[in-house]
Structure 1
């Protein structure tokens, strides 16, 4: 599908508006697809905040930030957006990586105007069977993204992405200090949007205490918002080698500048796991209500670095939003701080 019948350069619209982690997962797929199809223009439509994450982009990728809460709010807004994108970019194919009502509106408008549409298979029935423990796993998200482009007839290489800024100067940031010789940097992202995916903060404090008392280890706590700032502040005050990024206004480039210096990231099943993967940083991931076999493991990350306990009730949810049927979140509380520390030290060599 490199060229249309009139031998004109083609333009493929890619849609994925949320969530942040899901948009991050598009990068290891979209960037190689763009580079494998140099004669095709690609336009990625996403929300304003995720759009700023799209750095080191291929020459034939245009990122469009969409205000879905303002100008393009609601179904009418999506209808107007579809018309604008088609007119401005001469779109003749759509890769829908979201498959929700918003993107269905865009897909429908495009089909009415003769545009080819390929949509992600979310494997919803398989996901329901997974949480009922009737199947063992679903297709990883990164592969389901890739198959969308393949269905459009595009070259869609598997596992071709290495990392952002590969072979190029790494990003620099005024908020990221120089790294001293022999130092081991550990980034920790302790929060998640859902309780079923978030390691209890009092246990995380114990993890930080053990790491902070190791010689040459420097810890960078990642978070944002008032509640996360307050939760992390005691750690940065207690330990000279713990820094809270929640206290400093920063952008994605600042995070990438930090991550490229880190030796390991400790993360929940959340967006920062995927941001670290974009910089090829090893991730020790903590899994509670969800599970790597739900399809959201960080790109090229080893499941050997996943910290979890085997329970007959896991996974109970794909996204971690459901309450614990036992009321005690044993999937997280039975993970000891030492289990996490042992995984981290196996990577940083302490």
Structure 2
């Protein structure tokens, strides 16, 4: 999800630089709402379970895409499926992302600890290779959306307070801040702010415990569809997220994002878009010299599994206060 969300500010810049350019985004149907605010952008929903499954399904997909009379293909994923599609698009201009795998391997191995090119810039480079040079330096974002009435009722008369989103989950536990420490963060912030807790439907019960006995903490996990969640996120004053999709959802909407890191690191190029480096809270590299242990959080020494917990709740609450008061 994060990879898809990171394409949005790049496509926004592209359509601004080239207003006559028509874009068709090939992605899973669930992600279609990500692109709802982009002009001249349509979503072609891929059906990987049935219609477009396997090589024959991809061949059928290629014919459907050719019927759109596309002039070029920007492959922002560069995986086996898109490599196969490239074969079917023989004769069409087809450029693929350079994921910088060797650079990332050197970063993880500790051979070269320095910031790598951002994923957003890698996406932009694909369009540059197609002849569409663009800059990400002066981004624009959609306006705040009207909130569902159900959310406004939950806020009641506290809507004059600033709103904080907290998304405490990630694909791997090695990227998560311990929930007991997140509870400490919430206990401090709820005194001054309204807090919305984000997660999947399966996370609802866990988040209920974090929101217990407080009118200022609202669990929205599993309560709304994706469009409604994006509407809510657009109204936040800041999002606190792990190195996960919610950080990129908030950033693509122009919301300030404070990201908490575990075994991964912003140097790998997956930091949230258009955020100051100081908004990334990372464990102490002096105490944990092997960081980052992996790019995605799936590989780590056992004693690094809970490294995110070395970040004190006070560090997070003080950062939030500083960002909201800036």
Secondary structure, aligned partner of 2:195: strand
Q: Secondary structure at the match of 1:262?
A: coil
1:180 Cα deviation from its structure 2 partner:
4.6
Where structure 2 has 5 or more consecutive residues not aligned to the other structure, the ranges are none
Q: Which moved more, 1:299-308 or 1:155-164?
A: 155-164
Aligned residue runs from structure 1 range 27-42, under 5 A: 27-42=8-23
Query: Secondary structure of the residue that 2:303 maps to in structure 1?
Result: coil
Aligned-partner SS, 2:78 = coil
Give the distance between the partners of 1:98 and 1:171, measured in 2 at CA.
Answer: 33
Please name the residue that 1:316 is paired with: 293
Q: Which residue is equivalent to 1:191?
A: 169
Counterpart for residue 12 of structure 1: none
2:183 alignment partner, one of 183, 191, 205: 205
Q: Give the aligned CA root-mean-square deviation in angstroms.
A: 1.8
Taking the aligned partners of 1:254 and 1:45, their CA distance within structure 2 comes to 22
Gaps of 5+ in 1: 1-19
SS at match of 1:69: coil
The whole-number CA distance in structure 1 between the counterparts of 2:130 and 2:82 is 17
CA distance in 1, matches of 2:18, 2:238: 33
Name the one with the larger helix percent.
2
Equivalent residue for 1:327? 303
- For the residue of structure 1 that corresponds to 2:289, the secondary structure is coil
Structure 1: 4+ residue segments shifted above 3 A: 178-182
Q: In 1, distance between residues paired with 2:304 and 2:295? A: 19
Is the contact made by 1:176 and 1:254 (CA closer than 8 Å) also made in structure 2?
no
The correspondence for 2:58, drawn from 70, 78, 91, is 78
1:264-303 equivalences under 5 Å are: 264-303=238-277
If the length of structure 2 is used for normalisation, what is the TM-score? 0.92
Q: Does the CA contact (< 8 Å) of 1:175 and 1:254 recur in 2?
A: no
Which of residues 219, 230, 246 in structure 1 aligns to 2:205? 230
Query: Which residue does the alignment assign to 1:24?
Result: 5
What is the TM-score with the length of structure 1 in the denominator? 0.86
Shift of 1:243: 0.5
Aligned-partner SS, 1:107: helix
